């Protein structure tokens, strides 16, 4: 069904590494036009150049998902460059896990800003376009932490539960309003990305590193799920994907 991907314009947030980078390269190889957004423009430039060298199409722009105007700007860039927008993959996220008693309140705020407000800002930026054209696809990275709670994950789990709930209501309301906006929420387990680098709490960091060392699988596995979602016919949505290593009991 990769014919459904060819020519589609796709914005990817958190595109400078990990799941975002892997997805950008895979969708570009299937003929999608990729709009890369993240804070590290040097990384985005390298990825865009690699995509173009392989015969694909990609542009990039600095994007801090916590700033509404920057989300609006990357939507404008996509439309100005390619004339339309089909998909936004809301993939930016932070996971500085720690016990509540450690009171890492700055990290709590960061997670809410990126993991919650970043999703809200992205949806707000694309909604006028998607509603007007009566089509569009919102894909978001939640986490298995959005399906179950665990010690050390109080705030992170909370942000990912929010994504789960918000995306489900977006799906329902879009169906009711007849805007044909589809949603897909992805719940990855141990996927090898830079996510662990955001953990400052020593105990949490060591525990997660051991977990990922034992079970972690490639970000390409999530990219393949996004590819599948985007390839589906317009009248079909698979709105939730729980994905992880086959040998991880999580």
Residues with a known catalytic role: 156
Give the Cα separation of 243 and 72 in Å (integer). 30
Tokens of 226: 């996004």
Q: How many CB atoms lie within 10 A of CB 3?
A: 9
Tokens of 220: 């390409």
Give the Cα separation of 80 and 228 in Å (integer). 27
Phi-psi region of 112 (alpha: psi -120 to 50; beta: other; left: phi over 0): alpha
Say whether 166 sits in a helix, a strand or coil. helix
Nearest to 154 by CA among 96, 113, 200, 209: 96
Residues 6+ apart with CB under 8 A from 209: 196
Give the Cα separation of 153 and 232 in Å (integer). 33
Give the Cα separation of 82 and 64 in Å (integer). 22
Nearest to 13 by CA among 57, 70, 63, 81: 63
């Amino acid at each position: 069904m990769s014919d459904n991907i060819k020519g589609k314009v796709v914005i990817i947030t958190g595109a400078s590494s990990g799941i975002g980078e892997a997805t950008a390269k895979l969708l570009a190889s299937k003929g999608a036009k990729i709009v890369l957004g993240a804070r590290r423009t040097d990384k985005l430039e390298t990825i865009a150049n690699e995509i173009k060298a392989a015969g694909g199409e990609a542009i990039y722009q600095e994007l801090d998902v916590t700033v509404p105007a920057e989300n609006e700007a990357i939507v404008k860039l996509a439309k100005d460059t390619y004339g339309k927008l089909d998909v936004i993959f809301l993939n930016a996220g932070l996971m500085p896990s720690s016990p509540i008693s450690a009171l890492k309140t700055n990290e709590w705020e960061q997670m809410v800003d990126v993991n919650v407000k970043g999703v809200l800002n992205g949806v707000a930026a694309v909604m006028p376009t998607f509603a007007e054209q009566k089509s569009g696809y919102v894909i978001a990275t939640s986490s298995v932490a959005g399906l179950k709670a665990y010690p050390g994950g109080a705030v992170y789990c909370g942000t990912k539960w929010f994504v789960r709930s918000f995306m489900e209501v977006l799906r329902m309301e879009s169906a009711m309003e007849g805007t044909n906006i589809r949603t897909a929420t992805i719940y990855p387990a141990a996927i090898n990305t830079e996510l662990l680098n955001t953990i400052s709490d020593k105990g949490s960091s060591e525990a997660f590193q051991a977990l990922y060392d034992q079970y972690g699988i490639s970000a390409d596995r999530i990219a393949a799920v996004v590819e599948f979602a985007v390839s589906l016919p317009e009248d079909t949505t698979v709105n939730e994907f729980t994905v992880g290593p086959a040998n991880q009991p999580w």
